[in-house]
Structure 1
């Protein structure tokens, strides 16, 4: 697991918390912030996943 994957998951968690707080307090701005954080976290994790896949493939082809 690389730093992009870890940061991405962390951002998704923060986003879920902000979304839940926004719903609980009826704060649409906080809810939207949470949604955006989750989206950004998913993108960052996907980037990290792609980096890991590329590294794994490189290891397989160059032992």
Structure 2
């Protein structure tokens, strides 16, 4: 899945993202609006992960959805 597809399917994927990253609020996910870069940033903030770790998690999420 590429980043365009995340944006295009964000309404569908938002719930799955919330289940995976439960510390992200609905407000956080609404602000992300399917932006891969924003999702990576929010994961970094919420979980104290490095950019590389957050990128890897988002890549894994993309592959599985």
TM range (shorter): 0.3 to 0.5
Larger radius of gyration: 1
More relative contact order, 1 or 2 (CA 8 Å, 6+ apart): 1
More helix per residue: 1
TM-score (norm 1): 0.33
TM-score (norm 2): 0.32
